[in-house]
């Protein structure tokens, strides 16, 4: 198993606030990595840097040895890094099916290929019955699933999911989890930011915990979740 993504000494500060402080980790190809940590620990900032929305102050990001520093989000998407947002981003005034079509074409698929893939994804995500509704008319969970699908129109090298399970109906959460597991079986790599510990334990083989911008624990999920530093970060000093 080789390193798909490796991050070295990534740092970012806003004004006087050091949001991300010399963060380093790597993600193995074909794994599902969890990124956890209390609010304000810098997880979303890391994700923003990985998807090109923010530029790092210092440090390097490499995808299979290719440097990603300074690349635009659209370029990163074409290289195979797909990002799902915490506040769902879909194209509200066109149909759900068109959302998928456009994503496919943006990633380089031909029209016919996009149609085929979109059909397939609609079935996998169980969104067949709403595929011709405007994306803005879908429920919150359906929109999330749609955004999910948009990331998979062309097999991504790395899927970055930012709190995908937050505020989602349990049935839909199940669909998402199954989708992730299925895709992972055929070799897809995921980095999931989440607060949902049971799901993190279920899905993620490895885990990284951040707190106030630094990595405080990494490695096998079980050990990370039971490490004293992590417990302290989440619950505060009194509980250790």
Partner 1 sequence: MLFLDLTVNGLIMGLFYALMAVGLSMIFGVLRIINFAHGEFFMIGAYTYALIATSFGINPWFTLPLAALGGAILGLVVERLLIRPLYDGYRSWSFVKDEYAVVVTFALSLLLIHLVDKVIGPSPFMGPSLFSMQRISIGPIMLNGQKLISSGVSIFLLISLAIFIKKSLWGKQIQAVAQNRFGAALAGIDPVKTTALIFAIAGGLAALSGALLSPIVNHSPDIGSFPAIKYYVIVVLGGLGSIWGSMFAALILGVLESYFAVYVSYDYRDAFGLLILICVLIFRPNGLAGMKGREI
Partner 2 sequence: MIKTLSISNSKLWRNRLKFDFWSLLIVLLLMCFLPLLDLSDYTLGILIVAMYLAIVAMSWNLLAGYCGQFSMAPAAFAMIGGYIVGLSDFHAQLSLWISVPLAIVGTAILGALLGLTVTRLKGPYLSLTTLSFAEISRVIISNSHEYTRGDQGLNVPSMINDRLSYYYFFIVLVLLTGVFIYWLMRSKLGGFLLAIRDDQEGAESKGIDIVFYKLVAFTISCSLCGFAGAMYGSFSQLVSPEMGLLQQTGLVISMVVIGGIGSLTGPVIGAILVYLGSEWLREIGNIQMIVFAFVVIIFARFFRTGIWGFCLGLKQRLLQNHHE
Choosing from 63, 107, 199, 203, the residue that interacts with partner 2 (CB under 8 A) is 107
With CB cut-offs between 5 and 8 Å by kind, which of partner 1, partner 2, none does residue 14 bind?
Answer: partner 1
For 171-209, b/e burial (b = at least 16 CB within 10 A) is ebbebbeebbeebbeeebbbbbbbebeebbeebbebbbb
Binding residues for partner 1 restricted to 78-117, rule: CB under 8 A: 92-93
Query: In the bound complex, what is the minimum distance in angstroms from residue 120's beta carbon to partner 2?
Result: 9
End-to-end CA gap in the chain: 36
Task: Return the closest-CA partner of residue 102 out of 126, 142, 135.
Answer: 135
CB closer to partner 1, 57 vs 113:
57
Choosing from 136, 140, 219, 236, the residue that interacts with partner 1 (CB under 8 A) is 136
With CB cut-offs between 5 and 8 Å by kind, which of partner 1, partner 2, none does residue 207 bind?
Answer: none
Binding residues for partner 2 restricted to 44-63, rule: CB under 8 A: 51-53
Choosing from 22, 102, 166, 177, the residue that interacts with partner 2 (CB under 8 A) is 102
Query: In 3-state terms, what secondary structure has residue 178?
Result: helix
17 contacts: CB under 8 Å, gap ≥ 6: none
Check binding of 14 to partner 1 (CB under 8 A): yes
Give the HSE-up count for residue 238: Cα atoms under 13 Å, Cβ half-sphere: 1
Cα Rg of the chain, angstroms: 18
CB closer to partner 1, 108 vs 136:
136
* Token pair recorded at residue 50: 């990985």
Choosing from 38, 64, 78, 216, the residue that interacts with partner 2 (CB under 8 A) is 78
Check binding of 74 to partner 1 (CB under 8 A): no
């Amino acid at each position: 198993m080789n390193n798909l993504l490796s991050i070295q000494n990534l740092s970012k500060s806003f004004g006087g606030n050091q949001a991300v402080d010399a963060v380093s980790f790597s993600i193995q190809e074909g794994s599902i990595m969890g990124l956890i940590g209390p609010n304000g620990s810098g997880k979303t900032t890391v994700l923003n840097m990985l998807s090109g929305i923010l530029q790092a102050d210092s440090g390097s990001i490499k995808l299979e040895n290719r440097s990603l520093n300074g690349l635009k989000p659209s370029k990163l998407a074409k290289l195979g890094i797909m990002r799902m947002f915490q506040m769902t981003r879909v194209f509200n005034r066109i149909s759900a099916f068109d959302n998928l079509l456009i994503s496919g074409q943006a990633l380089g698929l031909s029209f016919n290929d996009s149609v085929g893939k979109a059909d397939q994804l609609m079935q996998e995500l169980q969104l067949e019955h709403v595929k011709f509704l405007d994306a803005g008319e879908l429920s919150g969970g359906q929109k999330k699933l749609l955004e999910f699908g948009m990331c998979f129109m062309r097999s991504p090298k790395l899927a970055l999911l930012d709190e995908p399970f937050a505020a989602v109906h349990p049935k839909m959460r199940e669909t998402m989890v199954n989708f992730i597991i299925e895709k992972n079986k055929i070799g897809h790599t995921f980095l999931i930011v989440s607060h949902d510990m049971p799901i993190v334990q279920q899905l993620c083989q490895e885990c990284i915990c951040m707190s106030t911008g630094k990595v405080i624990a990494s490695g096998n999920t079980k050990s990370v979740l039971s490490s004293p530093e992590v417990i302290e970060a989440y619950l505060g000093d009194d509980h250790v």
